[in-house]
Structure 1
Amino acid sequence: MTENHTGRTPERQRGPVVLRRDRTTDAGTTDQRLLDSRGPSDWVHTDPWRVMRIQAEFVEGFGALAELPKAVTVFGSARTKPEHPEYELGRKLGGALADAGFAVITGGGPGAMEAVNRGCSEAGGMSVGLGIELPFEQGLNPWVDLGVNFRYFFARKTMFIKYAQAFICLPGGFGTFDELFEALTLVQTKKVTKFPVVLFGRSYWQGLYDWLRESVLVGGKIGEKDLDLLHLTDDIDDAVRVVQDAYRAWEDVH
């Protein structure tokens, strides 16, 4: 039996299905098969059935998360190593959110996501992970208390927003950027309300913020109010305060 660098058997998620050992070599993902064009008429035979699977993912996600307490979605790099200072920051952030009465929702993977799940779980909070089928090995981290695996990114993204009252971004890559700008777009267009977006780590995010202010804002592509949707901080207490203030405001209108 071949094990990976963590000492565990190689594992891949395919929606709710777990694949191990030689089954992890199956090519492609469900998203990939949905978006790829295979031929002029193939969709007639396959896409109508995919609608049922997509519907099932939404039903499964709604059912699993419907009774979740107030929560914060936190994103960050899967590549953050346990010995990196950002890992410890994520762990402390997860603990602080739990102490403030919030569940945390992450992508359920390793790195910064694991750190936040770990901190929340250690503090006695509800630690949620929403996994995704990927072409490379991942799986939910061991600190997830409630986990849901998805095949489709768009179903998973809905859960990140629907069941959270705030969004915090730790340093991350393309996946974090994707979620960040989707959240900003939903708030800007008032698809979601009272939803703060916190960028945690000034040294990492300041360059992006400056570009938005000096190029995008100056160029008239966004307005002053749009830039105000972002809150930069290095302080865990400050991040939690922003989340709490927004939640109180949300309660006032509900």
Structure 2
Amino acid sequence: MRRTRGSVIYVDSLDELDQRLASGARSFSGWRLRDLDLTDRSAALRAADVTGALFLGCVLRPDDGESVRARGAIVFPMIPAVPIEIYRTALYTPQELYDTADYADSLDARVYAWSQHEDSRDTALAQALHDHSLGLALDDWTHVRRLVGVMGGHGIERGEHAYADGARLGRMLAQTHTVATGGGPGAMEAVNLGGYLSGHDEDALDESLDVLSRVPDFAAHIGDWAQAAFAVRDRFPHGSESLGIPTWHYGHEPPNAFASAIAKYCRNAQREAILLEVCQAGIVFLPGAAGTVQEIFQDACENYYADESSLAPMVLVGREYWTERYPAWPLLQALAKGRPMEPHVHLVDGIDEAAELMRSGASR
């Protein structure tokens, strides 16, 4: 949660700064002022005690910058020639990432290209600061919501039965929770689609699945793939909220357009840990390959060492899939045996049973 009280405070707008000053604040100690144009606040800066304050990407008059540094503040400047807002204060929207008609010119594509072709200390610092700021924005977004996660394979194509199942699962889960996914294509997109359409009837979902099936995957043309999703959003403009947490580490996996809020990270390891952490209501694991198996056991590790008050349910969908094709279930079951996590770990045949378990808290 973004701190507005206590020893560390984030100040993200001039209005908030002015309100605090008008209320009598004279010390900026512990404040984190982010991305503010302070060129017209010289008098306030000179009058305040700035010892211990951080100015993150703020615009300061040169003499004001020298003054606050001399009096104990730390100033992090903007890093030039980077395509991302490194002191960002909000999550992304699909429209921001797909901000041009040609995907190759979009913000999403520009950031990926920059991340792959720039190798410098400034780049590493920009990515770290961006991901830190994004994490704070994600805290703001998640702390007032109860999230249930769904993990699954990115290779599932629109038009496949598994894609429709993912969408229907997302729709069912969104009746009682906010749905979160890895934010990419395949099963992730399907679940975010179901969350987006959770306030509409089944006919809307069926119609959307039909529209999307005409562009089954993104491999041939990401722009066409994304435009099909935006066509669905235009047809049903009042969608429900859901969360996607993708990464620019996987440039071949574009973000899906059905998550209303997108926390897109530069660093994949940080993204993976956060994705599992925010799903406090538990996670459903649809069929997937190595990435999904990794997520199963990363989540299992957290539950293995958790006490009874910190457990998050785990539901694996596909009895044959998880016992024969990729036999994660026997090992997961063995890990859970005799521990507090045991009654919270489940293997089911289909999405209806998975949704019911999540609605009931997923414990026997």
TM-score (norm 1): 0.72
Q: Which residue among 52, 58, 75 is the counterpart of 2:135? A: 58
Alignment of 1:1-254 (within 5 A): 9-11=102-104, 18-20=108-110, 25-26=113-114, 28=116, 52-67=129-144, 69-99=145-175, 101-124=176-199, 125-164=240-279, 165-190=281-306, 193-207=310-324, 208-209=327-328, 211-212=330-331, 217=334, 222=335, 224-225=337-338, 228=342, 229-246=344-361
Relative to structure 1, the CA distance from residue 11 to residue 65 in structure 2 (aligned partners, 3 Å threshold; closer, same or farther) is farther
Distance 2:192 2:251 in 1: 21
Instruction: Determine helix, strand or coil for the equivalent of 2:158.
Output: coil
Distance 2:250 2:171 in 1: 31
Shift of 1:193: 1.9
> 2:51 aligns to what?
none
Distance 2:139 2:184 in 1: 20
More strand by percentage: 1
Any gaps of 5 or more consecutive residues in structure 1?
1-7, 34-41, 250-254
- Please tell me whether the aligned partners of residues 58 and 155 of structure 1 are also in contact (alpha carbons under 8 angstroms): no
Distance 1:83 1:48 in 2: 41
Instruction: Determine helix, strand or coil for the equivalent of 1:178.
Output: helix
The alignment of Structure 1 onto Structure 2 pairs a total of residues equal to 218
- Please tell me whether the aligned partners of residues 127 and 266 of structure 2 are also in contact (alpha carbons under 8 angstroms): no
- Please tell me whether the aligned partners of residues 11 and 139 of structure 1 are also in contact (alpha carbons under 8 angstroms): no
Among all aligned residue pairs of Structure 1 and Structure 2, give the percentage whose two residues are the same amino acid.
23
Relative to structure 1, the CA distance from residue 93 to residue 189 in structure 2 (aligned partners, 3 Å threshold; closer, same or farther) is same
Any gaps of 5 or more consecutive residues in structure 2?
1-100, 200-239
Q: Which letter does structure 1 place at the counterpart of 2:284?
A: I
Shift of 1:224: 1.8
Q: Which letter does structure 1 place at the counterpart of 2:196?
A: S
Relative to structure 1, the CA distance from residue 11 to residue 129 in structure 2 (aligned partners, 3 Å threshold; closer, same or farther) is farther
- Greater RCO (Cα-Cα under 8 Å, separation 6 or more): 1
- Please tell me whether the aligned partners of residues 181 and 188 of structure 2 are also in contact (alpha carbons under 8 angstroms): yes
Instruction: Determine helix, strand or coil for the equivalent of 1:73.
Output: strand
Relative to structure 1, the CA distance from residue 206 to residue 11 in structure 2 (aligned partners, 3 Å threshold; closer, same or farther) is farther
Relative to structure 1, the CA distance from residue 159 to residue 133 in structure 2 (aligned partners, 3 Å threshold; closer, same or farther) is same
- Please tell me whether the aligned partners of residues 107 and 129 of structure 1 are also in contact (alpha carbons under 8 angstroms): yes
- Please tell me whether the aligned partners of residues 130 and 156 of structure 1 are also in contact (alpha carbons under 8 angstroms): yes
Shift of 1:64: 3.3
Q: Which letter does structure 1 place at the counterpart of 2:242?
A: S
> 1:39 aligns to what?
none
- Please tell me whether the aligned partners of residues 131 and 140 of structure 1 are also in contact (alpha carbons under 8 angstroms): yes
Instruction: Determine helix, strand or coil for the equivalent of 2:316.
Output: strand
Relative to structure 1, the CA distance from residue 60 to residue 169 in structure 2 (aligned partners, 3 Å threshold; closer, same or farther) is same
Distance 2:256 2:318 in 1: 23
Rg: which structure is higher? Answer: 2
Relative to structure 1, the CA distance from residue 182 to residue 26 in structure 2 (aligned partners, 3 Å threshold; closer, same or farther) is same
Shift of 1:209: 4.1
Distance 2:115 2:124 in 1: 19
Instruction: Determine helix, strand or coil for the equivalent of 2:259.
Output: coil
Shift of 1:47: 6.8
